[in-house]
């Protein structure tokens, strides 16, 4: 299974800035990218095209959308369809990111509809899950992760190609705070995600990549990526500079 080193640029960068960062990343990481790693950049929708152009023809480098809607087209002002992401050269799409859930207010059912529709439309999908600090303090981590997985993957067919589905465990209290989860917290959560997905999808789920996200940086990435059941990382802040993201990609 190839490790997936993913960047989420959130609402940052003009097209020119996105192009420059993508070019710098290639310059620093493309020639030394190990065979068993893949790189994904999720820029704002407006920069999908330029980043796709920069990555075009470079093996192991992919582009993704940060979210999408569960319809092919229609009167859905402000939304974007999976087919439109594919048309801009994207291979991946995120669903259920913590900021979609907790800032914009998306619920599990909507996240589940998007996940299934994105997969059916031909995107590879990264379903993001993770508990709030209050939920962790109340001992509810497994309950929350199980609910987000069961509802988020409710309509995904059992025989889904495991290469096209990833889950990102991102404890909300570790996103953008500089506070990274400790190895024990990551190991426990990832083992629980694996066990739950095997219960849902059978052995197939052993091939589904589970990414960790939340304050990943060049200084902690090597340790995190070496943990059991950690098949990649999803990086926000430290992915915005080509220099620091290239160190993460090669860590």
* Residues carrying an active site annotation: 97, 170
Report CA Rg, the chain: 17
DSSP 124-155: EEEEEE---HHHHHTT-HHHHHHHHHHHHTTT
Whether residue 236 is annotated as binding a ligand: the answer is yes
Subset of 176-215 contacting ligand PGA (CB under 6 A): 176, 213-215
HSE at residue 32, side-chain half, CA atoms within 13 A, is: 10
Terminus-to-terminus CA distance in the chain, angstroms?
17
Q: How far is the CB of 215 from ligand PGA (least distance, A)?
A: 4
d(C-alpha 28, C-alpha 150), whole Å: 39
Q: Applying CB under 6 A, what is the total number of residues that bind ligand PGA? A: 13
With CB under 6 A as the contact rule, the residue among 85, 170, 197, 247 that binds ligand PGA is 170
Task: Give me the residue whose beta carbon is nearest to ligand PGA.
Answer: 236
Instruction: Say whether residue 216 binds ligand PGA (CB under 6 A).
Output: yes
Whether residue 158 is annotated as binding a ligand: the answer is no
Confirm if 185 and 171 have CB atoms less than 8 A apart.
Answer: yes
Whether residue 8 is annotated as binding a ligand: the answer is yes
Subset of 8-27 contacting ligand PGA (CB under 6 A): 8
Known binding residues for substrate are 8-10, 176, 215, 236-237
Which residues of this protein are in contact with ligand PGA, per CB under 6 A?
8, 170, 175-176, 213-216, 234-238
């Amino acid at each position: 299974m190839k490790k997936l080193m993913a960047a989420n640029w959130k609402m940052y960068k003009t097209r020119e800035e996105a192009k420059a960062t993508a070019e710098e990343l290639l310059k620093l990481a493309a020639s030394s990218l190990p065979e068993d790693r893949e790189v994904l950049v999720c820029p704002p929708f407006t920069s999908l095209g330029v980043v796709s152009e920069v990555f075009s023809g470079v093996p192991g480098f992919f582009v993704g959308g940060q979210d999408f809607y569960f319809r092919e087209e229609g009167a859905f002002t402000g939304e974007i369809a999976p087919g439109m992401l594919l048309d801009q050269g994207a291979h991946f799409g995120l669903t259920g990111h913590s900021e979609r859930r907790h800032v914009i207010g998306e619920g599990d059912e909507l996240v589940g509809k998007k996940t299934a529709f994105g997969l059916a439309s031909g995107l590879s999908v990264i379903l993001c899950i993770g508990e709030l600090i209050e939920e962790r303090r109340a001992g509810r981590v497994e309950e929350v992760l199980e609910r987000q997985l069961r509802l988020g993957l409710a309509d995904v067919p059992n025989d889904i190609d495991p290469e096209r589905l990833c889950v990102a465990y991102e404890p909300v209290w570790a996103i953008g705070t500089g506070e990274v989860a400790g190895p024990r917290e990551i190991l426990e959560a990832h083992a629980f995600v694996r066990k739950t997905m095997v219960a849902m999808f059978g052995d197939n789920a052993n091939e589904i990549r589970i990414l960790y996200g939340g304050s990943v940086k060049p200084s902690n990435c090597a340790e995190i990526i070496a943990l059991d059941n950690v098949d990649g990382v999803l990086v926000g802040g430290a992915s915005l500079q080509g220099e620091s993201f290239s160190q993460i990609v090669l860590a």
